[in-house]
Amino acid sequence: MTRPAAPDPVVCLASMSPRRRELLAQIGVPHTVVAAHADESLLPREAPADYVARLARLKAVTVRERGEALPVLAADTTVVLEGSVFGKPADRADGLAMLAALSGRTHEVLTAVALATGRGVALRVNCSSVRFRDIGRAESEAYWETGEPRDKAGGYAVQGYGAVFIAALSGSYSGVMGLPLFETAELLRGAGIRCWIGASP
């Protein structure tokens, strides 16, 4: 028995994140992957929403300008607590400090998604609210040792071990993961790209 041929890619994902690949596959969008390698430094006095929007746009445009023919989809996620941006932890001490700051409090997760085509760049920003339960020092240290927090904005993963810290989530679960699917589907639809490609009728 022969398997049906895989659908041809319809977008290029400017991210090496396996979570974003999984989310895009979840809504049936065949894609290729290219790393953007953008400078993710926060600019002086840059607002968090402007920061993620700028980076998502930069990543999409960077890959598109390298000659990518497919529409380029890019995203950027950050955690925000009382106006302060929490990116990926620089080291163990930074990761533990992030968890201590988030413990027992509510923070925002901002994810911007951009789609660059021959007609320009379309952009959406999703904002979700996440409340953590109290987290003790020993538990934070044990979580760091799992290796999971090292490359995650805010030092935790909603889809992984870090889920045990989350008392409440209001907004987009996929947005907190790193690719808000509602906004992504809107951008794709606006560019004439459909979801559920390869799905049975």
Nearest-CA neighbor of 172 among 192, 161, 193, 186?
186
The active-site residue out of 8, 50, 76, 94 is 76
C-alpha to C-alpha distances, 11 to 63, 81, 127, nearest whole angstrom = 12, 33, 24
Q: Which two tokens stand for residue 59?
A: 């990543």
76 given a catalytic annotation: yes
CA angle 131, 137, 141 (to 5 degrees): 100
- The catalytic residue positions are 76
